[in-house]
């Protein structure tokens, strides 16, 4: 069944635009208000993306309002929408002096700069995989050591770091809990069940295992390998939702200590 949240947002926008249910229904091409009324009350299943687009057009929503409604409904960005947003964000990500990447609200990784791959000891060829497949960020925590060599911990600050696998599951459940009945959510979990460690942890870990004071901030420690030696980097990580489509997020790293800052110039060459 449709959650009251999505239906309530549609109703809020309709009232904000001073439109009656009949006006909106007629704009869509529905002969009466019964269908829209049921959607607003959450008495029917979630509208298809096609129907959602008709409602958005009938309500005359601007880009930001449209993005908020699509996010509330758990509608994944289309390939065309991803291409459009990356056209704007890729130059910013590539020009960033530290690791940075773009993801959507479902945690699909859409683009990464070279420095993010390098600090994780990943080959730059992974960029092709990312741009073609949009792998979920959750996946990387469970790849075999030979595919993901870096040792990662993260938390709300440097004194509350958790192992990467535990932190990722807990953070994912916290940030996407409202979408757990979506098809893409269940498919992701099903696909990751092929990893033994994921099967072991998924049912045991929840939000209480990874506290966050701020939704858009984390602290991350990465033990990387450079020139045959282990190097430890610590970063502040800030996540910014894109204003005109909050389904997309820009993730930016900043050095968290003098050691990381001092060594970074040499590392990024």
pLDDT tens digits, 124-137 = 999 999 999 999 99
DSSP strand E in the chain: where? 100-104, 109-112, 151-155, 161-163, 217-226, 229-241, 248-255
User: Following DSSP, what letter does each residue of 60-88 receive, concatenated?
Assistant: T--HHHHHHHHHHTTPPPPHHHHHHHHHH
Residue ranges of domains in the chain: 4-72, 79-267
pLDDT value for 4? 57
For the segment 159-197, what is each residue's pLDDT rounded down to a tens digit? 999 999 999 999 999 999 999 999 999 999 999 999 999
Confidence of residue 1 (pLDDT cuts 50, 70, 90): very low
pLDDT for 201: 97
**Tokens read off for 119:** 């600090």
Predicted pLDDT of residue 2: 43
In the predicted structure, residue 51 carries a pLDDT above the cut 60: yes
Which pLDDT tens digit goes with each residue over 190-242?
999 999 999 999 999 988 887 777 789 999 999 987 777 788 999 999 999 99
What's the order of all strands across the beta sheet hosting 217-226? 109-112, 100-104, 248-255, 229-241, 217-226, 151-155, 161-163
CATH architecture observed for domain 4-72: Orthogonal Bundle (1.10)
- The class of domain 79-267 in CATH terms is alpha beta
Spatial separation of the C-alpha atoms in residues 259 and 40, rounded to whole Å: 54
Contact at 8 Å (CB) between 139 and 167? no
């Amino acid at each position: 069944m449709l959650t009251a949240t999505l239906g309530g947002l549609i109703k809020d926008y309709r009232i904000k635009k001073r439109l009656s249910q009949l006006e909106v229904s007629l704009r869509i091409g529905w002969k009466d208000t019964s269908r829209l009324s049921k959607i607003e009350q959450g008495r029917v299943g979630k509208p298809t993306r096609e129907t959602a687009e008709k409602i958005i057009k009938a309500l005359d929503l601007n880009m930001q309002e449209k993005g908020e409604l699509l996010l509330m409904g758990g509608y994944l960005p289309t390939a065309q929408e991803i291409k459009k947003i990356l056209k704007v964000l890729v130059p910013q990500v590539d020009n960033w002096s530290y690791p940075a990447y773009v993801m959507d609200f479902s945690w699909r990784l859409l683009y990464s700069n070279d420095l993010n791959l390098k600090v994780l000891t990943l080959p730059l060829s992974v960029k092709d995989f990312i741009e073609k497949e949009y792998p979920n960020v959750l996946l990387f925590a469970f790849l075999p050591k030979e595919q993901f060599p870096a040792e990662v911990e993260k938390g709300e600050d440097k004194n509350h770091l958790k192992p990467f696998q535990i932190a990722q599951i807990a953070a994912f459940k916290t940030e996407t809990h409202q979408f757990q009945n979506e098809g893409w959510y269940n498919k992701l979990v099903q696909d990751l069940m092929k990893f033994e460690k994921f099967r072991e942890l998924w049912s045991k870990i929840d939000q209480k295992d990874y506290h966050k004071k701020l939704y858009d901030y984390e602290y991350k420690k990465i033990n990387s390998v450079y020139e045959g030696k282990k190097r430890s980097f610590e970063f502040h990580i800030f996540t910014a939702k894109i204003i005109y489509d909050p389904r997309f997020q820009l993730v930016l790293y900043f050095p968290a200590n003098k050691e990381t800052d001092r060594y970074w110039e040499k590392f990024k060459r």
